[in-house]
């Protein structure tokens, strides 16, 4: 018996050290399992992120709740034009056609739910060098008042950048304005930009069809 045993009145039969090792390893294992459990239930930091499969997004918006129908026309460097009747052409796609307040309300549980947003959007899924033309066309003029339209062109890849942001005013039925004409080089960079008018509605189809 050593001096410590004499002081405490206890003796070591050789089982104490293995017991503490087992206890320590058990606690360590429990801690690791708790860490793994919390890691598995941790919310994904990217949850809610929308991964747009596009290089360029073009949007046209007009005042919320306005009943009039404004159409977005986009032409690519190869002469392809997307609009209401041609939603896909080349690498450009009309993703949303908004017809004012048409079908903007639903009835649910005795309540009327309304979406007041007026917005059309076109995506460009691949960069073709050359000139792109963006027009807006007023298909209906229920209010009889001029409509301000905001047009935005955003480059998504490799990072978000605004290529154009501006406003045009559509005065009456069948009024058409060129919001922007921009030229992209092979790297997807804007090398030229102006708003010289070009009627894409006449280029798209003639005579003009009536929406159903």
* Helix, strand, or coil (residue 163): strand
The region, left, alpha or beta by phi > 0 then psi within -120 to 50, assigned to residue 155 is: beta
The CA distance from 212 to 50, in Å, is 32
Given pLDDT bands bounded at 50, 70 and 90, which one contains residue 54?
A: confident
Same domain for 104 and 64: yes
- The count of domains in the chain is 2
Q: Which range of residues forms the domain containing residue 75?
A: 56-204
More confident site: 68 or 210: 68
Residue 210 included in any domain = no
Closest CA to 200 of 86, 85, 73: 73
Residue 105 has pLDDT above 90, yes or no: no
Same domain for 19 and 103: no
pLDDT for the residue numbered 114: 55
Same domain for 66 and 17: no
Q: What is the pLDDT of residues 16-29, one digit of tens each?
A: 556 666 766 676 66
Same domain for 23 and 97: no
Average confidence (pLDDT) over 48-58: 70
Same domain for 103 and 28: no
Same domain for 61 and 35: no
- Please provide the average confidence, as pLDDT, over all residues in the chain: 79
More confident site: 187 or 178: 178
Task: Report the predicted TM-score, pTM, of the whole model to 2 decimal places.
Answer: 0.68
Residue 47 included in any domain = no
pLDDT for the residue numbered 34: 61
What are the DSSP calls for 59-85, one per residue?
A: EEEE-TT----EEEEEE-TTS-EESSS
Same domain for 34 and 60: no
Same domain for 181 and 98: yes
């Amino acid at each position: 018996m050593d001096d410590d045993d004499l002081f405490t009145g206890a003796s070591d039969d050789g089982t104490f050290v293995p017991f503490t090792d087992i206890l320590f390893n058990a606690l360590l294992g429990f801690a690791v399992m708790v860490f793994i459990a919390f890691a598995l239930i941790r919310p994904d930091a990217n949850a809610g992120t929308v991964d747009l499969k596009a290089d360029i997004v073009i949007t046209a918006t007009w005042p919320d709740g306005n009943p009039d129908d404004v159409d977005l026309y986009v032409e690519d460097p190869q002469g392809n034009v997307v609009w209401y009747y041609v939603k896909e052409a080349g690498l450009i796609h009309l993703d949303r056609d908004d017809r004012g307040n048409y079908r903007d309300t639903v009835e649910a549980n005795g309540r009327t739910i309304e979406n007041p947003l007026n917005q059309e959007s076109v995506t460009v899924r691949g960069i073709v060098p050359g000139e792109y033309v963006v027009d807006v066309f007023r298909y209906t003029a229920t209010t009889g008042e001029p409509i301000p339209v905001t047009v935005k062109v955003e480059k998504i890849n490799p990072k978000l950048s605004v290529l154009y942001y501006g406003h045009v005013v559509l005065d009456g039925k069948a009024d058409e304005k060129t919001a922007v004409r921009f030229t992209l080089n092979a790297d997807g960079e804007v090398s030229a930009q102006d708003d010289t008018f070009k009627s894409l509605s006449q280029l798209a189809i003639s005579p003009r069809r009536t929406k159903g």
